[in-house]
Structure 1
């Protein structure tokens, strides 16, 4: 997944940035009108200039009130601050958002350039989403992950990348460490135990110590680079923060966890509203489910055909594999074929090493096959920071649009030390050698790492700030299919089988999310969907149940985005026929940044912006 290691105070967007590109950066004009070309150009230029002013003031104010996210973006004016989730801080954010929404709604979209028409629609959706999350969803009142993300992210974002000299970053970290105890106090004040779900409380109780590990592993080793009063202040801040973390741990263990009585299911009304904001797609909840169910059926059929070929003549083959199988015959054949892939898996301490190797091989393949322009920026495969573990197996963390030339991190979670041999075996069956290749395609090449490298080059920083989760996650899933279709790993049928299994996971995600939060799906039924229908191992499925309980409207982004990417490519390919060039298509699509699929389609096909 593409998971920023820094959830914002109000988790709103995928990426953040500082400046809005001006009208001079825009390359297209609005459709011709009855006015003269000169008059039309002047009108568009004036409208674009007004939009640039409004959007820049919004973004400056937005980041100032979310300083941890601002650091992640590459705007370092507020590196010594943290987000304010007090009642006064929340009201300030809401008042600001409503004022900016009024200004945005007053703009005449028809007079803007095409690119700014897209950006205006994206910006309006975001501001409305902000207000809805603060006033209606109110995650600040029931989700302790919000506070944990700010506390850990406040320090991690300063220390993970060398965007400034170490002494400067240490001074900023000192100031933030001094403020984190107040954030813990806000958490204890704001959270309504009757609304806090038990699983959210338990997760944060496990992650809390990770804040201390950032201090010990990323800050303390560099303390010698400060001297005098700065060093004294740093030492005091570290000591005070460790004490505050310990006190917070006691509150989490003794008060929050035992007192948490909330339901993690957000219900149909909130879910549908959140889904519409998060996806910004014309696809409804029912559309998504219908598509996902049909895709699962089709993909299982393809897997059965592959399974029959790889099992032919093998002792492990089921007795019967007819052309038209029963559900049971199909299940047995696919499971037997997958066992051949599961047999090839890494040692528990070699997963990161294999991810590095797989990323290098995938990069070479992309370049050899001329699938898309490859990045010239570095990527580092790292162990996932402790304070982020427990939600996903891996994520891609790209530098903010303003932090040029810095590393992208492809983070992989280590296998927990307290897992039993059976749990470790389950995990490594799921993340077998071929699956690590598939994971690396998704997170790195040609997935998130490549796509976000392209996105950060797009002149509209606003679009990079408000990158669409469904476009980003959908591209990574689409990239998996592109690699399979191009014959990655020498058309290995077991790799083809694993690729389809991973596609099934994303299809199941789209169903799972709404079935849990709206339909009340039980854990047993969810596990059946994952372990039987889509062939996931117990550890993967158990982790996904936790993730689906902790989040909402994120799991569908993979399949929704993938569907939109496939629909668009099929349409362009049909129009261009023999002239279609996959590299040219991909480079043009990625040149638009990371807009929602509906806008990518309109830009690619030169259709009116709706």
Structure 2
């Protein structure tokens, strides 16, 4: 979900991995984006961070990569791609063959320049290495990106197959985004999350998934632990306290020691599985890392935090460019704002109509006039939501509720024949302890190159140390109907099902650069689609909760530009979230922090669902009575999760632009 992963993020070219989805983000971290619409990237959360930085290629990789793909879903023959067999000599100069070679070159370049990204993606050639964030490393990344762009410029894109035309646009956008991030946005100089996230991801990506025997992964982790102090040294060298926003400095100061939780949970308890020499080396690396973390903490507390004076708002010019890279959408910032504000009014009106129905015979209900004023509308919706909040699982039944909801949503899709279902179920697991307390459930898929690894649907019990007030607040938000929505969003027919379909597309380049906006937009689309199809017997309170969840998506889009372009303060942001969109105070407070720490990522959910809805309408208008919902869904999911506009152009046989 949120966090999921996209171009236009802060950071150095080819670096800045984010262990996700989750968020997203996240996702997760690849395949199925983040744990929930508002959850942080899980690996960052594990490393001590609660809010993911801006969306990057790595965040998309960790939060949104698919399950892996070999077989084409397309009906037309496939042209050569980066992962295709090398073309015959007589084909070597065709545009498609040249693009296939360039795609492979780009992927190899990225993996070599960002070993942590390579691990997250499933390329394990560089598991013992770590990214170079020094001035020299940044320049090598920029030079490599410009060289790849020059090669792409020499290819006649108009002569490529339509699928390769799409990938060419995606590749160009990624290359330009990474160069812009380094040369213009310069997050390496003002965002300490860049370094904190990389350090945590370097270890988490090795230990979280069993892509190789444990001793092999421990050996690689040892070598990375030996190198992580250099990341901290580069942070101290690169960051200019005068440019670092206070909120970024304070957040990373709180997160810094979190990397040790990865060591203590995954590495230290298992070093006995190594031979004596390797175990001694691992222990020495752990001891040295503890010292390096302590040294970094002292610098954060005594130098960076006291002297941080930067503005977290990136301003209109940078925001617009970053948004363009992140979305690859035809919608401008003004378009997004207009649509979101219009949707906010429409959805609140729909919620009021539902409230009038469910409160009609309720004792003590507020006034319910047909044409309410703002206060009457607010009171009625809040009263109706209280009915939904009251229906929540017992403290010790959250896991059972999430499992049952996933089974129920899957069976509904099967009975309604809404789309082709995966031929094997997702593995349901108990959420690791360090990830609990943020989301009830999330979907976690391996990197796109990690073949034959499982996808997990993780469900969380409530932490044992939570008091009754914390439990009640959490379960009000994640009530029985909200758990149903999460299972739709994260599982079936949301992220898990989408990832399974997308994995069949043959382009490795598209798998690595898959669109977080497509994935998150699809997951939000399925929430609405399931309600429209009559899920839970057309339960009006489910519809009400679904609309409330959608309001969060709308608020994200408005909030992001409100903060970074329009100069919103906390009071205005909190009013939007707690009053206009009915979010809990704690949830909104966390989102306010997140909006300061990231930019151009929060709108991806809203823009994604809008483009999915627009595309479905366009196809329905074209096909008329011959439109078939299952055929449409399967076709939409067959393209490997490019930005939605390209799926639309492919589906409607429009020019690729």
Q: Output the TM-score relative to the length of structure 2.
A: 0.85
Q: CA deviation at 1:290?
A: 0.5
Is the 8 Å Cα contact of residues 602 and 608 (structure 1) preserved in structure 2? yes
Q: CA deviation at 1:220?
A: 2.0
Instruction: Extract unaligned runs of 5+ from structure 2.
Output: 2-23, 28-41, 45-52, 80-89
Which of 77, 94, 105 aligns to 1:57? It is 105
Aligned residues: 597
Deviates more, 1:423-432 or 1:326-335: 423-432
Distance in 1 of aligned mates of 2:272 and 2:190: 40
Distance in 1 of aligned mates of 2:418 and 2:394: 32
Shift in CA distance, 439/122, structure 1 to aligned 2, threshold 3 Å: same
User: Does 2:542 align with 1:495?
Assistant: yes
Distance in 2 of aligned mates of 1:127 and 1:349: 48
Distance in 2 of aligned mates of 1:58 and 1:227: 38
Q: CA deviation at 1:360?
A: 2.7
Is the 8 Å Cα contact of residues 508 and 530 (structure 1) preserved in structure 2? yes
Q: Deviations over 1:559-602 (max 9, x none)?
A: 10101000111111222223222111111111101111111110
Distance in 1 of aligned mates of 2:276 and 2:568: 59
User: Does 2:475 align with 1:428?
Assistant: yes
Distance in 2 of aligned mates of 1:267 and 1:399: 36
Q: CA deviation at 1:197?
A: 1.5
**1:477 corresponds to which residue?**
524
**1:27 corresponds to which residue?**
76
- When the two chains are superposed, the root-mean-square deviation of aligned CA atoms in Å is 2.9
Q: Deviations over 1:524-566 (max 9, x none)?
A: 1111111111111111111111111111111101110101000
Q: CA deviation at 1:109?
A: 0.8
Q: Per the alignment, in what secondary structure is the counterpart of residue 489 of structure 1?
A: helix
How do 1:329-344 and structure 2 match up within 5 A?
A: 329-344=376-391
Q: Per the alignment, in what secondary structure is the counterpart of residue 117 of structure 1?
A: helix
Distance in 2 of aligned mates of 1:442 and 1:378: 14
**1:464 corresponds to which residue?**
511
Q: Deviations over 1:332-373 (max 9, x none)?
A: 111110010111234556545533332232222222222222
How do 1:240-255 and structure 2 match up within 5 A?
A: 240-255=288-303
Shift in CA distance, 450/50, structure 1 to aligned 2, threshold 3 Å: same
Shift in CA distance, 10/575, structure 1 to aligned 2, threshold 3 Å: closer
Distance in 2 of aligned mates of 1:413 and 1:204: 26
User: Does 2:636 align with 1:589?
Assistant: yes
**2:164 corresponds to which residue?**
116
Distance in 1 of aligned mates of 2:202 and 2:115: 8
How do 1:551-570 and structure 2 match up within 5 A?
A: 551-570=598-617
Distance in 1 of aligned mates of 2:358 and 2:589: 29
Distance in 2 of aligned mates of 1:487 and 1:9: 36
How do 1:179-578 and structure 2 match up within 5 A?
A: 179-318=227-366, 320-347=367-394, 351-375=398-422, 376=424, 378-383=426-431, 386=434, 396-410=443-457, 424-578=471-625
Q: Per the alignment, in what secondary structure is the counterpart of residue 438 of structure 1?
A: helix
Is the 8 Å Cα contact of residues 20 and 462 (structure 1) preserved in structure 2? no
Q: CA deviation at 1:249?
A: 2.3
Distance in 1 of aligned mates of 2:556 and 2:387: 25
Distance in 2 of aligned mates of 1:103 and 1:369: 48
Deviates more, 1:182-191 or 1:256-265: 256-265
How do 1:3-22 and structure 2 match up within 5 A?
A: 3-4=26-27, 5=42, 11-13=56-58, 14-15=60-61
Q: CA deviation at 1:117?
A: 0.5
Q: Deviations over 1:287-320 (max 9, x none)?
A: 00101111111111111111111111111421x2
Deviates more, 1:133-142 or 1:396-405: 396-405
Shift in CA distance, 50/471, structure 1 to aligned 2, threshold 3 Å: same
Is the 8 Å Cα contact of residues 396 and 448 (structure 1) preserved in structure 2? yes
Distance in 2 of aligned mates of 1:68 and 1:9: 17
Q: CA deviation at 1:219?
A: 1.4
Distance in 1 of aligned mates of 2:66 and 2:368: 55
Instruction: Extract unaligned runs of 5+ from structure 1.
Output: 31-41
User: Does 2:209 align with 1:161?
Assistant: yes
Distance in 2 of aligned mates of 1:248 and 1:597: 42
Deviates more, 1:425-434 or 1:123-132: 425-434
Distance in 1 of aligned mates of 2:255 and 2:75: 44
Shift in CA distance, 67/240, structure 1 to aligned 2, threshold 3 Å: same
Q: CA deviation at 1:111?
A: 0.9
Deviates more, 1:325-334 or 1:425-434: 425-434
Distance in 1 of aligned mates of 2:164 and 2:392: 48
Shift in CA distance, 495/369, structure 1 to aligned 2, threshold 3 Å: same
Shift in CA distance, 299/523, structure 1 to aligned 2, threshold 3 Å: same
Shift in CA distance, 198/65, structure 1 to aligned 2, threshold 3 Å: same
User: Does 2:145 align with 1:97?
Assistant: yes
Q: CA deviation at 1:123?
A: 0.3
Q: Output the TM-score relative to the length of structure 1.
A: 0.91
Q: CA deviation at 1:246?
A: 2.4
**1:134 corresponds to which residue?**
182
Q: CA deviation at 1:130?
A: 0.5
